[in-house]
Structure 1
Amino acid sequence: MIDYKGYQNKKVLVVGLAKSGVAASLLLHRLGAFVTVNDWKPLSENKDAQQLLDQGIKVITGSHPVELLDEGFELIVKNPGIPYSNPLIKGAIAKGLPVLTEVELAYQISEADIIGVTGTNGKTTTTTLIHEMITKDQKKSYAAGNIGTVACEVAQIAKPDEAMVIELSSFQLMGIRQFAPSISIITNIYDAHLDYHSSKEEYVEAKAAITKNQTADDYLIVNADQEDLMAAVSHTKAKIVPFSTKRFLQDGISSDGDKIYMNGEAVVAIREIVLPGRHNLENIMAAIGAARLYGVSDDSIRKVLGEFSGVKHRTQFVREWKDIKFYNDSKATNILATQSALDAFTVPTILLCGGLDRGNSFDELSDSMSHVKTAIVFGETAEKMADAAKNAGVTDIIRVKDVNEAVTAAAEVAASGDVVLLSPACASWDQYPTFEVRGDIFIEAVNKLK
C-alpha cells in the first residue's frame, strides 16, 4: 500500500455504507482524514454504523440531511448505489465538491497492477477468468470490486508484483478522477440501468470512463462488434486491442470457428473450452487478451478454459433431479442477459423470471423463447413477463409469489430432459436485497427437492 498523504487532516463525508462505505470509511480514517459517515438506516438497526462509531468515526444516521454540507467537507465518497439525484449528492455537486467512489481510493493507494473490467454483461465471468488465468500461471492475483471484495480493501494488501482484477459498474466509474488501469476491458454496451442514468448516452459515457485517464503505455480491450462503443472510446490514448465474435481480426482477438486467435496466433481450440454459450465467447476473448498482455502463458490460459464452467449466479449448474437440470442465472438483471442464457439451451426449458419494474417491456425476449414450455413469473414485473411469454407463444404461464414458490411450481411441471432456468431479466430489489440473495434462495430450494 502506498503511503498516500492526500487525505491527511481533510474533512471527508462518506455517504452510504454497506461493504464499500465501511471499507472507504476505515481506509480514510487510517489515512488521517476527519471522517463523517452518513447512512439512511437508523443507528439501532445499523451494525455497520455501530462498528465505525466504535472506531472513533463520527456517524449520522436515519436520513441524508442536506444541512450536512454546511460543515465544510472537502470531498464526498459515495456508495455507488446512491443515485446522483439524491438531494445531498446534488447539493455537493452544486457546491463544486468532488464526489468519488471507493475505487478511486483503491487506485490512489494501490501498488499492484490494475486490470479493470466493465460492460453491461459478462463482467463477472471475464473478471473471474482473468484472475484464474493469472493464478494458474503461478502469479498472485486478487479479484475485487463489484465482484464482491471491496477494491480499496484489496489495495491495502496487494503488492507491486501482484495484480488486482477489478469488476467495475457504471455507478463506480462515475465517481473516478484519476483512476487508470494498465489494462481496461469493455465487454459490451446495451440498454441497462436507465432508472439510474438519465439516458443511454450518460450510461455509455460512464462505461467509457474506464479509459479516460489511460495513457499510451496502457491497453484498452474493447468489443469491435459494437459501433457505438467503438465511437465512445475513440478518444482514448491507450492502445486499442479489439475483439470480435463476428469476423476474423488479424490485429486483435477473434475466431475462425475452430480456434481463438490473438494477433494472428492461435491460442486455444474452441473444442477445448468448457464454458457453454455463444455469449461467453466475448468474455473468453476479452480474458485471453488481458491475460496475454499481462504475460500469462498460452498453456495456463488453455488449462483454465478447459476447467472453468462458470461463476455463481451466472448460468450456474445447481443440480440434476429426476433427469431435470436446474440452472441459477440470478445475475441476469437485464433482458439481454436472459436472452443469452436462453440461447445457451435448446431443450424444453422452464423459465423462472420477474423482479423489479424499471419500466421495460420484455417483448425482446420473444425470439429466444421458442423452446420455453412454461414461464413461471413473479415480482413487480410478473404480468409484463406473462404478456411477453404469451406473445412469444408460450401457452403454460404460472404466476407465483416468489422464487421459493417458483421452484416448487417448476418441479411439478418439469419432465425428464427439461431445463429449469432462473434468469429473471430484472433486478432483485422488489423482493430481495441483492441478486446473490435471490440466487442463494433458488439454490437452497432446489437442493431441498426430494
Structure 2
Amino acid sequence: MRLVILGGGESGVGTAILGKKNGYEVFVSDYGKIKENYTAVLALNGIDWEDEKHTEALILNADVVMKSPGIPDKAPIVQKLIEKGISVISEIEFAIQFTDAVTIGITGSNGKTTTTLLVHHLLKQGGLNVGVAGNIGKSFAWQVAENKHDVYVLELSSFQLDGIINYRPHIAIITNISPDHLDRYDYDYNLYIESKFRITKNQTESDYLIYDNEDEAIQNWLKNNKIKANKIPFSLTTKPEKEGAFLEDNNINSTINNEQFTMPINEIALEGKHNIKNAMAATAVSQLLNIRKQTIRESLTNFQGVEHRLEKVLKIQGVQYINDSKATNVNSVFYALDSMTSPTVWIVGGVDKGNDYDELMPLVREKVKAIICLGVDNNKIINSFNNVVDIMVETSSMSEAVEIARRIAEKGDSVLLSPACASFDLFESYEDRGKQFKQAVFNL
C-alpha cells in the first residue's frame, strides 16, 4: 500500500511515522520548505520526501493520501487526486484505525484550545492516561505510533473534519459557530457549519454531543438535522430538559447520568462568560468519564489557561497589558472586549478573512478609548471605527504599536492585543505575534 502525505509539518511527519510502522510504502511531498527538524526525523526513519515541489508521478500513484489541514481542497494536486478517485483523508482519519483509545473531539470557531486543554487537565488530574493532540502539540498519528494513551482529547479544526470518513469521537464538543475561514468555503457560511457538524456524523446512540444551546447556528442545524448521539446542551440562560449544564445563582449546575455537580463560578480560574461555557463543556466530559466531583472542582480552580488567549502579561504604571493574539476572528474579539472592565487601548489588524466588524460596535463604543491598527492593509478597520473612537493610529511593527499604546494609556487602563485577523502579513504565526507583543511589553 502506498501512502502519500501532502505537507511535511507536524501532522504529516507523524502520519509518515505511523504509516511506516504499519507497513505502508510512504512518501512525503511539501510544496513549501520542510523544516530541518522534520527532515531529520524522516531521514532517521528511512522515509522518502521532497519539498518545494509536488512531483505528480510520485503522488498520483498513491493508494491513499493524507492531506495536511493547511492545504485547501482547491490546490491543483488535490484536485488531480480527487479526479483520479484516490482517497484523500485527514491525519485523524488515518491514525484512528491504529488505536483503540477513546477520543474526545472538540471543535468550534472559538474556545477550542482552551476547552481542549481544560478537558485534558481535568481527565489527567482524575488519573486517566490521557493525551492531547489535533491542533495542539505532538500530532495524534505520532502519539498513536508510540502507543501512548488510553484516551485522547483532540482539538479539531473544520479543515481536519473535512477529511473524515469513518472517524467517530465517543464524546464530541461544539463550543460555538461563527463565520470564520469563509475564504476556504466559497464564502458560504452554511458549508462551514456543515463542516463543523461532521464531528457527530458517525456517532452512534452510545456516544455524546456536547454543545452551546444558545448558539444560533448550532440550534438551527440541530432543528433541521437528526443525530444519533445523546445530546448534552450547556447554556448560561436556559435549563436543559434532561441532561446538560446551566447557570443558576452564579453556580454552574451540571446533570449527567442522574449525577449532579454544582460549583460557584467565582471559583473558576478562567475569567469571562465564554470561559464559564468552556468549563461547563469540560465538566460534562469529566462526569461522563466518571471523574470524582472533588477532582473536577479542584481542576477548574487551578487550571492555568492558554498562552496568547487573554493572557495577562504585565502591569506597568497601573496599565494592564493583555495578549490575546489567538483571537484571529471577530467573534474571539467580541469575547475579549466583553470581558474588559477598564478603558481599553485595542491593538487590531492583520490579514482579514472576510470580517464584519458591525457586531463589535456596541462594545467598542462602550470600552475602547483608542485603536492601534497593526497590519499592511488597515482600511476596513479604519472605515468601520473611524467615527466611534477618538484616537486611531496606523503602525507596521509590534514594537511601534506597543510604544504608542504606552503613550496613550493612562493609569487604570488596559492595552489589549486582540487582532481579529490572521497574522501572516507581518508575523510567522499568531504565536510569533503574541511573543513579539510580550517582548515589546517587557522592553517598555
CA distance in structure 2 between the partners assigned to 1:138 and 1:29 by the alignment: 32
Shift of 1:235: 2.6
Q: Deviations over 1:57-103 (max 9, x none)?
A: 22232223545454x21111001000000011011111111111111
**Aligned mate of 2:247, from 234, 242, 255:** 255
Amino acid at match of 2:170: S
Amino acid at match of 2:200: T
CA distance in structure 2 between the partners assigned to 1:325 and 1:384 by the alignment: 27
CA distance in structure 2 between the partners assigned to 1:237 and 1:398 by the alignment: 52
Structure 1 length as normaliser, TM-score?
0.92
Say whether 1:270 aligns with 2:265. Answer: yes
Is the 2:103–2:171 contact (alpha carbons within 8 Å) kept by the matching residues of 1? yes
Taking structure 1 as reference, are residues 382 and 148 closer, same or farther at Cα in structure 2, changes over 3 Å only?
Answer: farther
Is the 1:144–1:150 contact (alpha carbons within 8 Å) kept by the matching residues of 2? yes
**Aligned mate of 1:62, from 52, 69, 74:** 52
Say which SS state the counterpart of residue 109 (structure 1) adopts.
coil
Shift of 1:53: 4.0
Matches within 5 A, 1:20-419: 20-41=11-32, 48-49=38-39, 51-70=41-60, 72-158=61-147, 162-198=150-186, 199-233=188-222, 234-251=225-242, 252-263=244-255, 265-369=260-364, 370-391=366-387, 393-419=388-414
Shift of 1:126: 0.7
Amino acid at match of 2:245: I
Say which SS state the counterpart of residue 279 (structure 1) adopts.
helix
CA distance in structure 2 between the partners assigned to 1:428 and 1:133 by the alignment: 31
Is the 1:257–1:270 contact (alpha carbons within 8 Å) kept by the matching residues of 2? no
Shift of 1:228: 3.1
Say whether 1:420 aligns with 2:424. Answer: no
CA distance in structure 2 between the partners assigned to 1:324 and 1:227 by the alignment: 36
**Which segment is superposed worse, 146-155 or 72-81?**
146-155
Say which SS state the counterpart of residue 176 (structure 2) adopts.
coil
CA distance in structure 1 between the partners assigned to 2:162 and 2:203 by the alignment: 16
Shift of 1:124: 0.7
CA distance in structure 2 between the partners assigned to 1:133 and 1:410 by the alignment: 38
Shift of 1:342: 0.5
Q: Deviations over 1:13-56 (max 9, x none)?
A: 1111111111111221221111111111357x765345424533
CA distance in structure 2 between the partners assigned to 1:47 and 1:346 by the alignment: 44
CA distance in structure 2 between the partners assigned to 1:334 and 1:42 by the alignment: 28
Taking structure 1 as reference, are residues 360 and 271 closer, same or farther at Cα in structure 2, changes over 3 Å only?
Answer: closer
Q: Deviations over 1:182-219 (max 9, x none)?
A: 11100111111001122212211111111111111111
Shift of 1:220: 0.8
CA distance in structure 1 between the partners assigned to 2:390 and 2:384 by the alignment: 11
Aligned residue-pair number: 436
CA distance in structure 2 between the partners assigned to 1:361 and 1:224 by the alignment: 24
Is the 1:66–1:91 contact (alpha carbons within 8 Å) kept by the matching residues of 2? no
Is the 1:14–1:78 contact (alpha carbons within 8 Å) kept by the matching residues of 2? yes
Is the 1:65–1:88 contact (alpha carbons within 8 Å) kept by the matching residues of 2? no
CA distance in structure 2 between the partners assigned to 1:375 and 1:227 by the alignment: 30
Shift of 1:159: 5.4
CA distance in structure 1 between the partners assigned to 2:126 and 2:190 by the alignment: 39
Say which SS state the counterpart of residue 97 (structure 2) adopts.
helix
1:6 is aligned to none
CA distance in structure 1 between the partners assigned to 2:436 and 2:88 by the alignment: 35
Percentage of matched positions with identical amino acids: 37
Amino acid at match of 1:149: K
Amino acid at match of 2:194: E
Task: Give the alignment's Cα RMSD to 1 decimal.
Answer: 1.9
Shift of 1:310: 2.2
Is the 2:265–2:276 contact (alpha carbons within 8 Å) kept by the matching residues of 1? no
CA distance in structure 2 between the partners assigned to 1:275 and 1:320 by the alignment: 19
CA distance in structure 1 between the partners assigned to 2:147 and 2:291 by the alignment: 18
1:3 is aligned to none
Amino acid at match of 2:250: D
Q: Deviations over 1:400-427 (max 9, x none)?
A: 1122221121122211111111100001
CA distance in structure 2 between the partners assigned to 1:284 and 1:445 by the alignment: 32
Shift of 1:154: 2.2
Amino acid at match of 1:81: G
Amino acid at match of 2:165: R
Is the 2:131–2:148 contact (alpha carbons within 8 Å) kept by the matching residues of 1? no
CA distance in structure 1 between the partners assigned to 2:213 and 2:332 by the alignment: 19
Taking structure 1 as reference, are residues 42 and 327 closer, same or farther at Cα in structure 2, changes over 3 Å only?
Answer: closer
CA distance in structure 2 between the partners assigned to 1:66 and 1:365 by the alignment: 46
CA distance in structure 2 between the partners assigned to 1:54 and 1:441 by the alignment: 34
Taking structure 1 as reference, are residues 211 and 345 closer, same or farther at Cα in structure 2, changes over 3 Å only?
Answer: same
Say which SS state the counterpart of residue 420 (structure 1) adopts.
strand
Shift of 1:287: 0.9
